[in-house]
Structures are given as C-alpha cells and as structure tokens.
Amino acid sequence: MARPIELIPLLCLNCATRLPANPDEAAWVCPQCGEGQRLDEREGLARLEVHYSSGIPLNQPGKPYWVVDGQARFQRKTYSGSQSAEAEKFWGDSRRFFIPAYTLPLETLLKVGSAFVSHPPTLEAGPPAPFEAVTLSLEDVTAIAQFIAMAIEADRPDKLKELQVNLQLGDPVLWILP
C-alpha cells in the first residue's frame, strides 16, 4: 500500500517559526525574525539575503526581483541589415539584470526585464516592507536572464536569422523594489 503524500511545514532556520508558504512560492521572509529563506532544489530550505529599496511606498507591497550582474556575448547572423556593432557596444560592459521574481505573463516579464537592463533603477537600501510572493526560483534566473537578453537582441531592427548567446552571471540577490 502506497503511503499518502505528507506535507511538512517549513520552519524558519533561525527561530523555528512556521513560514507562511504557499505551494507556488520559492522564497519567504520569516514573520517573526525577518530572516530570508528560499527553497533549494538540492538542499531544501536555505538562507537568503533580502534587500529592500528605499523607494517602496507606505501601505503598498514591493515587488521582488532577482538582481544579477552579467556579461553577454552573442553570435548574430542576419538575413539583411546588421546591428552587430550596436549589440557589441550595448553588451560590451557588464550589465545588471533585474529579473521579476513574482508572477507575470511571459510577455510582460520580458518587457519589464528588458527595460531594466537598458535603464536599471538605482539600488538604495531601505527598511523592510511587505512584498508580493516570490514565485521564480533562484534556479530559473539564468534561463530567464538569457531569454531577456535574446528578447533585447530580437527587438533590434535588423532581420535576425540566428542568435547564439553566451551569458556569464554572478550570484543573484533578491531585492524588493517599488
């Protein structure tokens, strides 16, 4: 006879308070001690450093973003026109990716992520604030960053035929932004 599935409550690694976790969430802040925690595919519950922006309005939840610096290199082939020089100039220096960690339609996620790569917000630390649920796991950050970089390149006015992306990312950090 098969054993029924057993749900095990997630308890804060710092103070053992039950974390207010829903099935689709990937990270939380303990309501008792404020310790950030996330689910790791291999380790289970792991500590997570959470930063809060100073610009979060009172009585409004912030939005969680995985913030990571990275270098992107591309091999582009086009049918006609070439934006390779512009792409090399844009990606020549390290870029900061702001990857929405909350639930968004894919098209909106790409639009927001692309806009923040081009015009990154200033990260100025502020006090803790409530925020929307973190539903994008840390393990998915690289794939989404690559997808955002490809969306930026696909939006160039040349007629792109083929694109290969090599993305080197640092360690993502969770920021709560306005």
How do residues 93-118 score in pLDDT, each as one tens digit? Answer: 899 999 999 999 999 999 999 999 99
Helices 141-154, 84-91: crossing angle, 10 deg rounding:
140
pTM of the predicted model as reported, rounded to 2 decimal places = 0.90
Q: For residue 16, what are its two tokens?
A: 């053992």
Residue 7 confidence (pLDDT) = 62
- Higher pLDDT among residues 119 and 41, named by residue: 119
Which of 14-23, 70-79, 88-97, 112-121 bottoms out in mean pLDDT, i.e. has the lowest?
70-79
Between strands 173-177 and 50-52, the pairing is parallel
pLDDT, mean of residues 125-130: 95
Residue 51 confidence (pLDDT) = 98
Local confidence band at 122 (pLDDT 50, 70, 90 cut-offs) = very high
In degrees and rounded to multiples of 5, residue 48 shows phi and psi of -145, 125
- Cα 170 to its chain centre, rounded Å, is 12
Confidence check: pLDDT of 83 > 80: no
Confidence check: pLDDT of 74 > 90: no
As a whole number of angstroms, the distance between CA 99 and CA 139 comes to 12
Residue 5 confidence (pLDDT) = 63
